[in-house]
Amino acid sequence: MRTVITGGAGFLGQKLAHALLAEGHRVRLLTRGKDPGIPGAEPMAGDLADPASLVRAFDGCDAVFHTAGLVSYNPEKDALMHATNVMGTRNAVDAARRAGVGRFVHTSSTAAIGINYDPDRLMDETSPFNAQSLGMAYFTTKWEAEEEVRKGVAAGLDAVILNPGSLLGAGDTRRYEQAYPGLIYRFHPRLLVHGGICFVDVNDAVAGHLLAWKKGRTGERYILGGENLSFADLIRRTNAIIGRESPRAYLPLSLMGVAASAIRILQKCGLHLHITPELVKQVCTWYLYVDSGKARRELGWRPQPIDRAIRETLDWLKGIGRIH
């Protein structure tokens, strides 16, 4: 089969390309920058803001994997996120229809599912989106991008939507400073924090994309949540792999302002974080836990324990000299 991946130079895009090639498919990588250099893949320059380049890239392809997108919690990038995540998806959907693509696989995020403050409640594909009031463009633009895909489906496009959790694994060269296990390794937190999200091994996310392409129902969304994990448990598991003791006490929520100030200091010291002080205050009250049962039942998706991805992330960061 002939496939094309938008965001072909990204973390997920490159892993997906290797998996498709291993299955014997032809792979075209749509990138804005340099060729990621994946043997056997065909690089092609293109831009989500240039509809004509998308039509050229999609022409003759049986499937489009739309993994391209912008992840940021910096308010200064809100307009760029809307242009990339929403308008870029609109252009990709239109181009797929014009090119007669067989199936369009859209990579969304669990951010498009919504927010939750109760660790005992799991969100699923039917949960009403409730993050509009947060003022965080990443959440809203991922939801709005899904709306563009649903419009395409209504117009006849065969598309499926995937909502992976936060990706973990080796090889995320664009965000190595943001890898949670790496941050825990480097800064050795002396207190646990509240809150939690779902994490997924990038390799399991890739497997979910392949399964959705082959088995997913048109117009449906599938959560690829991997494992729901509190930040405290993430610290404990990472420390267990490293071989050091974990703290027992929690940072009181009333002191999250201090943590936010620490983020500001790190930013002033030149550490470019994808999180803002305001986000730190909010995220430690969230439990963005999801139910991946639909993907398990309908796609046969079987994610592995997240400890493997934590270990692989740490080994990779050590190998490239980012942690010592």
Residue 159's closest CA among 218, 93, 98, 222? 218
258-301: pLDDT as tens digits: 766 776 677 677 666 656 666 766 778 899 999 999 999 999 99
pLDDT at 104: 99
pLDDT at 324: 81
Residue with tokens 């995020």: 109
Query: CATH: 3.30.70.20, 3.40.228.10, 3.40.190.10, 3.40.50.720. Which one for 2-167+200-225?
Result: 3.40.50.720
Residues of the chain with pLDDT under 70: 176-178, 257, 259-260, 263-264, 267, 270-278, 280-281
- Give the type of residue at 118: D
Enter the pTM of the model. 0.93
Beta carbons within 8 Å of 114's beta carbon, 6+ residues apart: 123, 127, 128, 129, 130, 131
CA distance 101 to 213: 12
Judge whether 3 and 27 are in contact, CB under 8 Å: yes
Q: Domain extents for the chain?
A: 2-167+200-225
